[in-house]
Amino acid sequence: MRLSLKVSRISSANYGVRRLITKYGYDVFFTIAVMCLAVIAGSYFFIEQPFLRHLIIAVALVLFLFALNFFRDPDRKIPKGNNLVLSPADGTIVAIKNVLESDFLKSDAVQISIFMSPINVHVNRIPVGGTVAYFRYVQGKYFAAFEEKASLDNEQTHIGIDAGTFKVFFKQIAGFLARRIVCTAKVGDPVTAGARFGMIKFGSRVDVFVPKNSDIKVAMNEQTIAGETVLAVVPEQKVA
């Protein structure tokens, strides 16, 4: 009985760690955690000067807390409703404009761009339920993610979802600090609105393209929450 209870507590603790830290960042987070622990231990035992020792320990703690904050993965309340396009990212709306989307929608569309700062949650979520019908990885540069040219020139992944009566296209775009895009979505995968599918490490941007006649529900400089904020509502329509 005691052994069973102990195993249960250990399992619960491990589950808590998994829920706290995104699986997409285990490698980086635990590398940083071990490095910080080693620096703190080394400073405590081998640096005699108090000021320098405390400074190094403080820097290591700040780095650890930054990593903990960056790789956190909170649960979200997914809104219910028909034809909702949810935000795939936490961040700030930096662009809302009419464009011609020629990769997947192949029609006029509204582009909604979200800038993710290093302090935002960086786990990305599926904006609309359906089937992944398009995927492409694009090599590129690393301009600051809030700059408009980042949408065209930076490293990015392109994902298109067929929701049945409409399509949505979105891009994970690397920023100045981001050097790795994680995306688990593959062509043919069935997906659910609000489900986790990847992340962009250390600052980034997400562009979402919805049909032109969509009812846009956000405004410039508005803060978004991945899986909760409704970006747009798409009228019923037939997909060509």
How would DSSP label each residue in 72-91? Answer: B-----PPP-TTEEE-SSSE
Closest CA to 225 of 110, 77, 22: 77
For residue 139, the tally of other CB atoms under 10 A from its CB is 7
228 closest CA partner among 75, 113, 18, 21:
75
Catalytic site includes residue 204: yes
Phi and psi (nearest 5°) for 63? -65, -40
Catalytic position from the list 43, 113, 151, 204: 204
Please list, in sequence order, all residues whose beta carbon lies within 8 angstroms of the beta carbon of residue 63, skipping any fewer than 6 positions away.
Answer: 32, 36
Q: Give CA angle at 169 (234, 196), nearest 5°.
A: 95
Tallying the residues shown for the chain, one arrives at 240
3-state helix, strand, coil in the chain (%, to 5): 30, 35, 40
Residue 165 to residues 99, 128, 134, Cα–Cα distance (Å): 21, 12, 16
Give the catalytic positions in this structure. 204
